[in-house]
Amino acid sequence: MGISQELLDILACPKCKGDIYLNETKDGLVCDECKLLYEIREDIPIMLIDEAKAIDK
Amino acid sequence: MKALVTGAAGFIGSHLCEYLLKNGVRVVGIDNFMDYYPRSMKEANIVGMMHDKGFEFVEADILTVDLSKILDRVDIIFHEAAQAGVRASWGESFKIYSDNNVLATQVLLEACKASPIQKFVYASSSSVYGDTTDLPMRESSLPRPISPYGVSKLAAEHLCWLYYKNFGVPAVSLRYFTVYGARQRPDMAFHRFLRSATEGKHIAVYGDGEQSREFTHVDDIVEATWMASKNGLPGEVFNIGGGSRITLNQVIRLIQEIADCEIEVRYEEKQKGDVRHTFADMTKAAEELGYQPKVQLQDGLRREYEWMKELVESLSG
């Protein structure tokens, strides 16, 4: 089903409170500032800093 | 109308989300899946709602999530998230309780200062009363908790009051009395008793079993919570009970009738923090919220027993 735009609009990076966006594969939310990926598992965005994955950009 | 439900994957939170969705309220649910009991049980609580277009769910911690954008889009907040458990709240664990029950509530209330929400309903607990002999427990009684958990719930109630008094945050606190029903947490008495009855094992009772509780079915809790969001005056506190006060020994006899079996009972040492009796005076909830409990204990217990049989079957399958 994927997550809705409405939900995306109310989410922010829990670390810097900055903007995030859906990655190309639509299975995670990216914060460019913190270089972190917040995974989406079974349509649930996991907005926990400890669970986020570091990304190289 | 849109509501934020914290602790949305928990026992009461998930029932509340379903109730709201059925009543046409869109829901944003958040939950941090604290590991107090298995994550799979909480996931099962929300799985039926995940395809409902009115339901949006985020795994997040109140202490770190950016609340501003969420609060801009909701009308009501139901703050059900908490670290539960009276007996586990002693010693070093207290930090978990102060973080998740006190600090998390303060963070939410602080964020509400800048948001035009209509109501903030806080899920408090009868444990704030402590071991009083002044029964029934009235909202006007002096609360004197005897567990760190009760202290944390009372502290959060006080925060609700002061954020209302100083900043106009329209917070209402509900003192839930021993909630039971399907999806009940595994550490709670009915869950443990019914599971033992289903699996043919003994029941462990803390103390002599003559302690009494006001038991409240989760359907009544959810309805009262909804009523509080509509009718509860900001700054006020309400007892929410089920109108069924009986001893644990009587509960066990009822369970034996329902399950049609004999259950061995082993009495163990009374746990620190457990109160002797709870008994709600619900005059205020009836008069001001229009709340009347509907689910009789025997019916509610029978329904939870049916749920337990399914749960045990799914775990063994």
User: CA–CA separation, B266 vs B204, rounded Å?
Assistant: 5
Q: What is the mean pLDDT of residues A16-39?
A: 95
Share of chain B above pLDDT 70, in %: 100
For the stretch B254-283, pLDDT in tens is: 999 999 988 899 999 988 888 899 999 999
The domain ranges of chain A are: 5-54
> Chain A contact for B65, CB < 8 A?
yes
| Average of per-residue pLDDT values in chain B | 95
User: CA–CA separation, B284 vs B241, rounded Å?
Assistant: 11
User: CA–CA separation, A26 vs A41, rounded Å?
Assistant: 10
pLDDT at B88: 82
Annotation marks residue B149 as catalytic = yes
Question: Residue B317: pLDDT above 80?
Answer: no
User: CA–CA separation, A48 vs A15, rounded Å?
Assistant: 9
Tokens 């954020």, residue? B163
Kindly determine whether residue A11 and residue B66, on different chains, have CB atoms separated by under 8 Å.
yes
What count of other Cβ atoms lies within 10 Å of the Cβ of residue B296?
Answer: 13
pLDDT at B314: 87
Residue A46 has its nearest CB partner, among B56, B59, B68, at B59
For the stretch B24-72, pLDDT in tens is: 999 999 999 988 888 999 999 999 999 999 999 999 999 999 999 999 9
- CATH of A5-54 given 1.20.1250.20, 2.20.25.10, 3.40.50.460, 3.30.360.10: 2.20.25.10
For the stretch B105-136, pLDDT in tens is: 999 999 999 898 999 999 999 999 999 989 99
Kindly determine whether residue A3 and residue B56, on different chains, have CB atoms separated by under 8 Å.
yes
The domain ranges of chain B are: 2-176+218-241+276-293
Question: Residue B244: pLDDT above 90?
Answer: no
Query: Which of B32, B35, B52, B58 would you mutate first to test chain A, the one with the most A CBs within 10 A?
Result: B58
Kindly determine whether residue B66 and residue A14, on different chains, have CB atoms separated by under 8 Å.
yes
CATH 3.40.50.720, domain B2-176+218-241+276-293, yes or no:
yes
pLDDT at A1: 61
> Chain A contact for B266, CB < 8 A?
no
Question: Residue A57: pLDDT above 80?
Answer: no
Q: What is the ipTM of this complex?
A: 0.92
